[in-house]
Structure 1
Amino acid sequence: MTIDVEQVRRDHPIAIAVADAGVDLHRSGRGWMGRCPFHEDRTASLSVDGVPDRFHCFGCGAHGDVIDFVKLRYGLNFLEAIATLEHRHPTAHQVSKAHGPHPGPVPAVPGTGPSATRALEINGMAWEHFTGPVAHAFAESWLRHHRGIDIGGLERSVQDRVVGHTGHGWTALAQHLLEKGVTSVELVAMDLARPTRRGNLIDTFRDRLILPIHNTAGNLTGFVGRDTGTSPGSPKYRNPTRTPTFAKATAL
C-alpha cells in the first residue's frame, strides 16, 4: 500500500490534531503555542505550525509532523497513526486564523462508530464505572486531603455524584465496557480506549479524577480527566477529543 504522506498532512492540519489531543493553543506569530503533552510543561513551550505543518517543543525536543505527533501522543506506529487521523478527521478541516484551531463536528462514518443514542448510553456506562463506590470514595478523599474541597454538600444538593476516578489500572474501563457489550470500535470512537502497538486496548483515562461534561439538554457528552500526581510528566488535564457526542467548537 502506497501512502501519500503530503496528502495526509494537507488533509489533517496539525493544529487540529494537537487541539483534539487536549492541548490548549494560543496564537503566536505565524503559528500557535501550547503546553507540551510529552513532558511536565509549565511554560507553553510547544510550537505548532510556526514552521508550516510541524510541531516542535523547546523544552523536551519532541518534533515532527502531524503523523509524528499522533504516534507520540497515543503510542502508535506509522500506519496506526494514519488510521487514527482518518478515523477522527474523515474530511479536511481549515484552521480559522481569527478564532483558532477549534474543530467542528465530524460527519458520521458508517460502520465505524456508535449512533448518538448509543454513544450517550456508553458514556452513561462509563460514568457508572467511574463513580462506583471505591472510585468515588477515592475521588472524594483525594479532593479533601489534597485540595481541601469537600464535595459532600454539593452532591447532596444536586442529589448526584459530581466527580469520579478511573482507578489505577491500564484496562479497567475497557474490560468493564467490553463485558457489557460495548465493542472495541465503539470504545475507540468514544475516546474511552485506544489501541497499543500490539493491538491491545488500554484506557484513555488512567489514574485521573473524572469530571462529567453535560450539554444544555443535560446529556452526558464527555469527560475531563485531572491527573492525581501518580504519573510524572503527564499533563494535568486530559480534555475530551471529538466524539459522536462531543465537539469542542459547539461545547464551549
Structure 2
Amino acid sequence: MPDDDVREIKSRLDIVDVVSEYVKLKRNGRTFWGCCPFHNEKTPSFSVSPERQTFHCFGCGKGGDIFTFIMEAEHLEFREALERLAERAGVALSQRGKGRSPKGDKEINRAALDFFTESLNGAGGEPARKYLEKRSIAPEDCRRFELGWAPNSWDMLSRRLEKAGYRASVLVDNGLASVGKSGGCYDRFRGRLMFPIYNITGRLVGFGGRILDGEGAKYLNSPESRLFNKRHNLYLLDKAKGPMSTMGHAILVEGYFDAIRAHLCGYTNAVASLGTSLTQEQAALIKRMTGLCYVCYDSDSAGQEASLRAMYVLQGEGVAARRVVWQQGKDPDELLLQPDGGELFEKALKSALPLPLFHAQLRKRDMEDPLKVEAARRDLLDGLASLSVFDLTPYLGELAEILGIFPHEVQNLVAGRRTKKGDGSGGGAAGRGSFYAFGATRGAENDIECMMCSMLWNNKKLRSAFSMEELMSFMDDPDVQNVVYALLGGDDIDAIERRWQQTGETRGMEIVARGNGLLAREGMNEETAAELAEALRQRYLKKRKDLLLDKIRNGTINEKEYEEYYRYIRSLKGGNTRA
C-alpha cells in the first residue's frame, strides 16, 4: 500500500463528519461529545477531537483515528476500511500488482448483474420467475436481493460485455466466461438462477448460480480469482453484519434460499456458508461480529454431520456454537414457510444444543450398537478433548449419562486424550487463549502516561526535549512504553502511523486517542508537558524509594543502593539532585 493513500484520505475527510453518521455529537469547547456507539451508555463519554482527528471513549476505552473508528463500527480489517474511506473521499487507491484495478472488477461484475436482473424480468426469464414463485419469492424480494437469470445461451453475456468494452481476458479473469476449445469465450453461467455475492465491505465480488433444468452441478459459484475467494465470504454478510453485532449472535445456514427466507422472516442476522464445509476464514468473519453462532444446516444426516464439523471450526475460532434442531421441514426455508414456521423456528433457537451435547446426541445411537460403540465413543471423546474445560463443565452430568459413566470419569477420559496430544492448556480455542481471554477487562492505562504520549505525538519539538531512556523508565504500562519508544526513536509520525496500520496494531492509536480526550477534558495543552514529565518522575522516584525501603527493612540493601535511597529522599523533598 503506497504511503500517501492514507495521508490523502485523511486530508479529505473530517473525523467529525464521519463519526456524526453513527453518533449524535454535540460541541463543547473544542471537542465534540456523544454517547459511545460501542457500548450502552446514557451519559455521553465519547469524545471526538477535530484538531487531532481522533476519538476516545472514557467508558469502554476504545479510541483511535478515522480508520480505527470505521474498523470498529463496520467490523472491517484495515484494508477494507481503507477501501471504504477511499471511496467516500474520492481517492483512487494505488494498484497492488498488475491487471485491472479493483474498481474495474467491480464495474464488470455490476454490468453482469445488470444483465442477469434484466434477463430475469425479460421474456426469456419466465422459467426462473415461475420457479421463484413456486419457492414463494415475490418480485419485490427478487429486487431486494438482486436475484437474476443467466439465459441458457452459449455466449449472450460475453457478447454483451465485450460490446460494452470489456476484453475477453477480463471476462475470464473475473469468472464470467470460460475459454472454449476453439479459443473463443462462452458464458460460465447458463440456465441458472443467479445470486450476487458481496464481501463484508459491500463490494460485489462474485456470483452463485442454481441450475433449473438439465445436466450440471446444482449450484455453481464464481471460480477462485483475485477478487473472489469462497473461503473468505459468506452470503448476505454485507446485510447481516450489523444485525449480528446488535443481536449478539449469528444464524448460519447452508443455502442461498435459506438465508433469504430467514431475512424475509425477520432474522436479518442470517448468513449462508456457500456450501456445507465452513472454513476457518468464514468462522473468523463471524467472530468479528459476535461470539455466538446458531448453526441451522439441513436436518438430514448429511446436514447433521456438516453441522458438527462447522461447530468445531467455529469453536476453534473462538465462537460458541449451538445446533438448532427441528422436527418439521428439511431446511430453514421449508420450516419457515409453514403456517407456524416462525414459532417453530423460534422454539428451535431457544432449545439449541451446545456443541458437547449435540456431538453426544449425534453419536448416541451408534454408542448403543456393539459394532459401532468403540468408534463412536472415540470420535466423541476426541472431539471433547479439543474443547476447553469451560465448554465441558456445565454438561458433564448429561455427557456422563449418555456415555453411561460417572462425570469424573468423563473428565479423566478427556484429560487423558489431551495429555496424549500434548495439549495441557485445555485444548481448542481456550488452549490458544483467544476466546476465553476475549472480553476480559483490561485496566485503563495511567492517565498521565496517556496524556504524555498524546503531547509527544502532537508536538515534534517536544519529542526532542526528552531522553528516551529516562522517559521510558518512568512509564509502567508496556504498551505505553512501546509508544514512547516509537515516538522518540527518530521516525516521523506519518511513518509510525503507517507501520501500525499495515501491521494491524491498534493499541498505539488507542493510547494516543485516550490522551487526547483526557487533555481536552482537563483543559490541558502542550505547555503542561514539563509538569506531566515531572509528575511521572516523582511517581517513579517514590516507587523506587519504597522498593529500596523494603530492602532496608529486610536487611538486603547494599551500600550503593543505600546511597541511591537517600538521593531519592532528597529529590522527593524538593532537592535539586537528579535521580
Q: How does the TM-score come out when normalised to structure 1?
A: 0.50
Whose RCO is larger (CA < 8 A, sep 6+)?
Answer: 1
**Which structure has the bigger radius of gyration?**
2
Structure richer in helix, relative to its length: 2
Q: How does the TM-score come out when normalised to structure 2?
A: 0.23
